[in-house]
A and B are shown apart, each in its own frame.
Chain A
Amino acid sequence: MGLDLDACISQLLQKQLLAESLLKEICEKTKELLMNESNCVSISAPVTVESVGDIHGQFYDLIEIFRIGGYCPSTNYLFLGDYVDRGLFSVETISLLTCLKLRYPQRVQLVRGNHESRAVTQTYGFYTECVRKYGSTNVWHYFTDMFDYLTLSVVIDDRIFCVHGGYIDQIKILDRYREIPHEGPMADLVWSDPDPDKDEFSISPRGAGYTFGGLVVKKFLEINKMEHILRAHQLCMEGYQVLYDDRLSTVWSAPNYCYRCGNMASILEVGVDGQRFFNVFEAAPENDRDGPSQQTSLEKKDKIQYFL
């Protein structure tokens, strides 16, 4: 028979890579699925969603998220982008997320982040990781081609607008099926940040997107009759940050970012009536055993606590 996604998922949960040919098929099918999603996917009530910010290839911390929020299909997930780059296991991370999306299209939403792009992944690790793990660039091509089809935003229950970066303009008529350009509305969506000290738009120090202030957010929510903007894209030491009188939240889901920042992470649970709860967590213990300072010799010593 054809593609056994359940087998793929359990293999990936064990952190074992899928074969290149399998990934090709999975990415193709996922593209077909994503092609039919709107630029602004709407999730209707009553629904609960675990919203996840940047993961950046920190595979073990993604597993930690499932331990905390529950596994699919029992739990609904909204991932806000930046799945790859920086961490050690971008391939495993995006493979797992893609398989979950394909297996449970209604349970899992994947929004595009600024790292879901050919240009950025060539510089920040995903490209190199694909070549190192598969011996060629094929897998990188499969995934980055698939990235072009990812949706740009999600609206939960008509009240919470969810996007990777932030600035939003005429999102519905955007032609999104392409590489993220240097500038323009699509770049703004994935690159922008809020600036708590400003009211209006300003130039972003990132060199892409804008920064936007409290007034912009307030106006956006009023026009669209919404309550809240949820986004990721910025490291928060506490795992999350709430701004502008509870009108905007940043959720960050890569604990101890780059294995050295020492920050907390969180996932935001959006309840049936739109209640929001940040479930904060730390880096998964597996990072100590299979992280950048991988020292297998220490492993044994850690486990045995006494002699009997």
Chain B
Amino acid sequence: MAESPENQYSDVPTEEMEEEELLLDDSLSPLEKIFLYVKSDLVFHRVFIAKELPSLIRDVEISEAVEYVLPLMNSLGTDPEDHVREAFAPEVDKIIWFYYSHCPLRENTPDNVQGDNGSINSRPMTPQRPQTPQRPHTPQRPQTPQRPQTPIQQQLQQLPAQPQTPTSHLPYLSPAAFTPLLHALLLDQNTSIASAAQSAVQSLVERILEEPDVNPKEKELLEKETLEGVVLGIGKLDQEKAKREDLEWDADGDDTSVGAVAGGEEEAELGRMTMMTLISSLAPIVGAEKCARLFVPELDKMSDEPVFYVRKEAALAVGSLAGILPLEIITSKLLPIYDHFSTDPIWHVRRSCCLVLATICSRLPEEMKAERAVKGIELFAGDVSRSVRSAAGEIIGELIATFHPDGKVPESLVQHFLSLGPIRDTTIGITSVTGSAYNTGLGQRDPERPVICAYNFPAVVLTLGESRWDDLKDTYISLTRDMQIKVRRSLACSLHEIAKVIGPSKTDQDLMSIFRLFLDDMDDVKSGLMEHLAAFIECLPQNTRNDYLPSLNDVWDGVNHHWRLRDEIAKQIPELCRLFDSQNVINHILPLTIRAVRDDVASVRETAVASFPDLFKAVRNDESCYTDMIKRICEFASDSKFRSRVVFVQICNALVSKDYPKEEFARHFLNDLEKLASDGVVNVRIALARLVGELCRMEQYYQDSSSRPSQINNMLRRLAEDNDVDVRGFVFPYLSPEERSKFISSTIQAMAESAENGLPPISEESDIDNGRSITQETHDSTPIMTNLNNEEKNDTEKNKESRDMENGRDSDDPLDAIMGEIPIAFIRPNVIEVENNRSSSGLIVSSPPP
């Protein structure tokens, strides 16, 4: 745009370019590439390799990957640049899994210490050489021929701590090989890196537990190491410190201390916190048995944990574990520590307790649940900390929902919930002590509270049921007038859910006015309604439904400026068809659909076109409506707008894709379709060719070439001779062998002629129907071949025509022989002028001032 070319050349860093030129040498092996990029001084090189390592490493010999790439991973994981570690952390599980799935594992035992000359066993990051060459289940890798040594290879071999061994046999990997790396990433002071590392651990555990192809022995090793070494291990950094001192795991022997990690004590605290977070996220994955065995004892120790942010995570872990452990462990182990945390001096910890209250209650038997829920919400809603009080508001809906479907919800919970809504004029009913304690600071209301209230309303209505609606509706209605769009949007999205619970007559009485109100609201609110338009209308009594139907046109008008909302309505058409009788479908839904297929936006047209099979279904049993529908559709075929003619073909296509009866299809549509084979606008013919191709491909229509009706054969022939390559491409595979050979011989002849004449000028008139010349057919033949090839690949169905074609090409098909060598000049599309050829216009204007 507005940039001047004068500064175009300003900031091309020349030395950077040279460096890249060095690196983009195609002759580099993947290993060399990895090595050079990791060692590059340019940050973006290291970022690039951090992201690409999972795919590049697949091309590296496994023994080399263990020997050379593995140490480089530590250098990426401790890179001084945040960007590099940020790029690396989300990929690390994929790389680790590559090793796990390609390399046999062996635990560190005194046995194989010997075998490794004792030198590298103390470094768990370093691979161990196997004593026996191969394990039976690992694939044998052929020894790669030794290439001449490049400078890079020499460099690689000079790496310290790299045993000078041949790389031909598989090394063993210690299951603990990646534990220090994962710990370093998990403890990274950059929280986005730490949380990416947590996700990596999580997906690693998932894979270890779920991947079917892992051998049971290795699975056990990996599971043990990941859960105990990585997860529990990070909570015991102080105990393991002495050991850790040995683990100098940077291959270069650089200063390896994990720079980003703070000193000893703090690191241990961070480690315990991370362990709790990991327990929370892993609990549902590892299942009850491992949770009880491995994780519960860790939580047990947490009651005298001195650091509050560790306790904060521990309280959340209590909730997570409660979600899967049996009741007996919950009551004996988890509830005591939960109660202990609930009165913690630090509000963060109490807030965590509040946030998991619903999860815990959901696991308790009815009476205990009611008691805990009431006591819990009283406690947290009356907390001295505002954060804890607002957390109580956030969870109240979820807490009430735990009583669904047949529990009795304690009344104080309901009142708590209602107190989140806008303040009502009358305060009838809200006299409970808990309610007022909860509502501290009336007047200066938290704007988030109505949002939370609106968000939870459907769940509360569902739990309390239709009978309590009258107690809830005042709050509900005042919420619908809230100033905040997100409150109204949430309500608009869920209106149909409320309607389902309260039934047709109350929906009509209480929600219809809200529905109309939201239809005139902002787009964000409107779209909430549109997404569930049919579902809401379904909840209305039948007579109201029918009365409402004509307003659909107004609804469409109301979203004239916003195509996604129109698309949303169009998506509802099939559902709407099911809600009305055939007369209403013809009188109201069909006109709306026709409006939609004339839309300016292609997506809206496509959505509406796709609803025609459902429209037909809705009127199928009403003969006059059915005939009417066909008449209205066929009007599109002779519409003066080309787009309507395309729509006609597309509607036929939609019907065919839903198995519209063949005889009826032939009777109602084939004649109109045939006329379009010579339509002046190429886009119509493309749509038609696509449809005809489909019809000839599908067994239930016209796959059998011997019984094709004349209209189909005429269209096939005509479209196959079309002067547009994209039209021909769709139908060519379905021609009869004779027709194809006729086509081929004319092509050969045309090629011979054009070869004699050199490049023939292409006349502009030729694009229009009858001006087709032999030369043009020549031009476009090669793309047809491309298309054929695609057909062959994609079409797995037993298509006789296609197979014939394939066989033909395997033999000495002249088409194959000649088409393969058509010079590019011949495939030049005929609508494009030849350079400097007799131009229609001079294109000359006066020259600009000098």
Q: Do A and B bind each other?
A: yes
**Which A residues are within 8 Å of any B CB, using their own CB?**
1-2, 4-6, 32-33, 35-48, 54, 56, 66-71, 73-76, 82, 86, 104-107, 114, 117, 119-120, 122-124, 127, 131-132, 135-138, 155, 158, 161, 167-173, 182, 187-188, 191, 200-201, 206-208, 210, 212, 216, 219-220, 223-226, 233-235, 272, 277, 279, 281, 285, 305-308
Structural contact, A206 and B3, CB atoms closer than 8 A: yes
- Given A47-B681, A136-B20: A306 in contact with B497 (beta carbons within 8 A): yes
Q: For residue A281, which residues in chain B have a CB less than 8 angstroms away from its CB?
A: 563
- Given A106-B724, A106-B726, A219-B846: A119 in contact with B790 (beta carbons within 8 A): no
Q: For residue A168, which residues in chain B have a CB less than 8 angstroms away from its CB?
A: 843, 845
Q: List 13 A-B contacts (CB under 8 A).
A: A2-B789, A4-B790, A33-B824, A42-B831, A46-B681, A67-B601, A69-B602, A76-B682, A171-B843, A207-B6, A220-B845, A305-B528, A307-B456
**Which B residues are within 8 Å of any A CB, using their own CB?**
1-12, 17, 20-21, 23-24, 37, 44-45, 47-49, 52, 397-398, 401, 454-459, 462, 489-491, 493-494, 497, 528, 563-564, 600-603, 642, 646, 680-683, 686-687, 724-726, 764, 767-768, 783, 786, 789-790, 793, 824-825, 827-829, 831-837, 839-849
When chains A and B are docked, how far (Å) is the Cα of A208 from the Cα of B4?
7
Structural contact, B398 and A201, CB atoms closer than 8 A: no
Structural contact, B48 and A132, CB atoms closer than 8 A: yes
Structural contact, B8 and A120, CB atoms closer than 8 A: yes
Known: A46-B681, A82-B1, A161-B843. 20 other contacts (CB 8 A): A4-B790, A4-B793, A37-B835, A42-B764, A43-B831, A46-B680, A47-B682, A47-B831, A104-B726, A106-B725, A114-B5, A122-B12, A158-B841, A170-B844, A187-B5, A191-B5, A208-B5, A224-B841, A225-B841, A307-B459
- Given A38-B835, A136-B23, A223-B844: A120 in contact with B687 (beta carbons within 8 A): no
Q: For residue A306, which residues in chain B have a CB less than 8 angstroms away from its CB?
A: 454-459, 490-491, 493-494, 497
- Given A106-B724, A132-B44, A307-B458: A279 in contact with B844 (beta carbons within 8 A): no
Q: For residue B456, which residues in chain A have a CB less than 8 angstroms away from its CB?
A: 306-307
Structural contact, A305 and B490, CB atoms closer than 8 A: yes
Contact of A135 among B49, B490, B601, B789 (CB under 8 A): B49
When chains A and B are docked, how far (Å) is the Cα of A286 from the Cα of B685?
33
Structural contact, B493 and A305, CB atoms closer than 8 A: yes
Q: For residue B783, which residues in chain A have a CB less than 8 angstroms away from its CB?
A: 105
Structural contact, A135 and B824, CB atoms closer than 8 A: no
Structural contact, A40 and B833, CB atoms closer than 8 A: yes
Shortest CB distance A184–B (Å): 11
Q: For residue B2, which residues in chain A have a CB less than 8 angstroms away from its CB?
A: 206, 235
Q: Which residue of B lies closest to A216 (CB)?
A: B845
When chains A and B are docked, how far (Å) is the Cα of A226 from the Cα of B4?
31
When chains A and B are docked, how far (Å) is the Cα of A119 from the Cα of B5?
8
Shortest CB distance B565–A (Å): 12
Q: For residue B454, which residues in chain A have a CB less than 8 angstroms away from its CB?
A: 306
- Given A36-B828, A69-B602, A135-B45: A235 in contact with B833 (beta carbons within 8 A): no
Q: For residue A308, which residues in chain B have a CB less than 8 angstroms away from its CB?
A: 458-459, 462, 494, 497
Shortest CB distance A98–B (Å): 16
Shortest CB distance B134–A (Å): 33
- Given A74-B686, A158-B841, A306-B493: A137 in contact with B726 (beta carbons within 8 A): no
Structural contact, A42 and B840, CB atoms closer than 8 A: yes
Q: Which residue of B lies closest to A31 (CB)?
A: B824
When chains A and B are docked, how far (Å) is the Cα of A39 from the Cα of B837?
11
When chains A and B are docked, how far (Å) is the Cα of A135 from the Cα of B7?
25
Q: For residue A42, which residues in chain B have a CB less than 8 angstroms away from its CB?
A: 764, 831-833, 840
Residue among A114, A123, A155, A219 with most chain B CB within 10 A: A123
Structural contact, B829 and A105, CB atoms closer than 8 A: yes
A contact face: mostly helix, strand, loop, or mixed: loop
Structural contact, B20 and A169, CB atoms closer than 8 A: no
Q: Which residue of B lies closest to A114 (CB)?
A: B5
When chains A and B are docked, how far (Å) is the Cα of A82 from the Cα of B2?
12
Q: For residue A106, which residues in chain B have a CB less than 8 angstroms away from its CB?
A: 724-726, 829, 831
Contact of A169 among B601, B825, B844 (CB under 8 A): B844
When chains A and B are docked, how far (Å) is the Cα of A42 from the Cα of B830?
10
Structural contact, A107 and B459, CB atoms closer than 8 A: no
Q: Which residue of A lies closest to B12 (CB)?
A: A122
Structural contact, A70 and B602, CB atoms closer than 8 A: yes
Q: Which residue of B lies closest to A119 (CB)?
A: B8
Q: For residue A44, which residues in chain B have a CB less than 8 angstroms away from its CB?
A: 764, 767-768, 831
Chain A to chain B: the 4 pairs with minimum beta-carbon distance, closest first: A136-B24, A207-B4, A70-B602, A305-B493
Q: Which residue of A lies closest to B24 (CB)?
A: A136
Q: For residue A45, which residues in chain B have a CB less than 8 angstroms away from its CB?
A: 768
Shortest CB distance B55–A (Å): 10
Contact of A137 among B21, B49, B462 (CB under 8 A): B21
Residue among A68, A86, A122, A305 with most chain B CB within 10 A: A305
When chains A and B are docked, how far (Å) is the Cα of A86 from the Cα of B3?
11
Q: For residue A212, which residues in chain B have a CB less than 8 angstroms away from its CB?
A: 848
Q: For residue A117, which residues in chain B have a CB less than 8 angstroms away from its CB?
A: 8
Structural contact, B5 and A135, CB atoms closer than 8 A: no
Q: For residue A120, which residues in chain B have a CB less than 8 angstroms away from its CB?
A: 3, 5, 8
Q: For residue A272, which residues in chain B have a CB less than 8 angstroms away from its CB?
A: 642, 680-681
Structural contact, B563 and A37, CB atoms closer than 8 A: no
Structural contact, A138 and B835, CB atoms closer than 8 A: no
Structural contact, A210 and B848, CB atoms closer than 8 A: yes
Structural contact, A279 and B600, CB atoms closer than 8 A: yes
Shortest CB distance A175–B (Å): 10
When chains A and B are docked, how far (Å) is the Cα of A137 from the Cα of B841?
41
Structural contact, A67 and B493, CB atoms closer than 8 A: no
Shortest CB distance A180–B (Å): 8
Q: For residue A71, which residues in chain B have a CB less than 8 angstroms away from its CB?
A: 602
Q: Which residue of B lies closest to A50 (CB)?
A: B602
Structural contact, B846 and A123, CB atoms closer than 8 A: no
Contact of B3 among A48, A123, A173, A285 (CB under 8 A): A123
When chains A and B are docked, how far (Å) is the Cα of A208 from the Cα of B6?
8
- Given A74-B686, A75-B602: A172 in contact with B843 (beta carbons within 8 A): yes
When chains A and B are docked, how far (Å) is the Cα of A216 from the Cα of B847?
10
Q: Which residue of A lies closest to B603 (CB)?
A: A67
Q: Which residue of B lies closest to A136 (CB)?
A: B24
Q: Which residue of A lies closest to B45 (CB)?
A: A135
Q: For residue A4, which residues in chain B have a CB less than 8 angstroms away from its CB?
A: 790, 793
Q: For residue A233, which residues in chain B have a CB less than 8 angstroms away from its CB?
A: 1
Structural contact, A39 and B683, CB atoms closer than 8 A: no
Q: Which residue of B lies closest to A73 (CB)?
A: B726
Q: For residue A182, which residues in chain B have a CB less than 8 angstroms away from its CB?
A: 5
Structural contact, A279 and B793, CB atoms closer than 8 A: no
Contact of A124 among B3, B20, B829, B849 (CB under 8 A): B3
Structural contact, A201 and B841, CB atoms closer than 8 A: no
- Given A36-B825, A38-B832: A68 in contact with B841 (beta carbons within 8 A): no
Q: For residue B789, which residues in chain A have a CB less than 8 angstroms away from its CB?
A: 1-2
Q: Which residue of A lies closest to B730 (CB)?
A: A73
When chains A and B are docked, how far (Å) is the Cα of A42 from the Cα of B789?
30
Shortest CB distance B494–A (Å): 4
Q: For residue A235, which residues in chain B have a CB less than 8 angstroms away from its CB?
A: 1-2
When chains A and B are docked, how far (Å) is the Cα of A82 from the Cα of B1?
8
Structural contact, B726 and A1, CB atoms closer than 8 A: no
Q: For residue A2, which residues in chain B have a CB less than 8 angstroms away from its CB?
A: 789
Q: For residue A107, which residues in chain B have a CB less than 8 angstroms away from its CB?
A: 726
Structural contact, A216 and B846, CB atoms closer than 8 A: yes
- Given A47-B681, A137-B17, A224-B842: A234 in contact with B1 (beta carbons within 8 A): yes
Q: For residue A36, which residues in chain B have a CB less than 8 angstroms away from its CB?
A: 824-825, 828, 832
Q: Which residue of B lies closest to A170 (CB)?
A: B844
Structural contact, B848 and A167, CB atoms closer than 8 A: yes
Q: Which residue of A lies closest to B497 (CB)?
A: A308
Structural contact, A279 and B764, CB atoms closer than 8 A: no
When chains A and B are docked, how far (Å) is the Cα of A41 from the Cα of B3?
28
Structural contact, B52 and A135, CB atoms closer than 8 A: yes
Structural contact, B601 and A68, CB atoms closer than 8 A: yes
Q: For residue A277, which residues in chain B have a CB less than 8 angstroms away from its CB?
A: 600
Contact of A119 among B9, B48, B687 (CB under 8 A): B9
Contact of A76 among B397, B563, B683 (CB under 8 A): B683
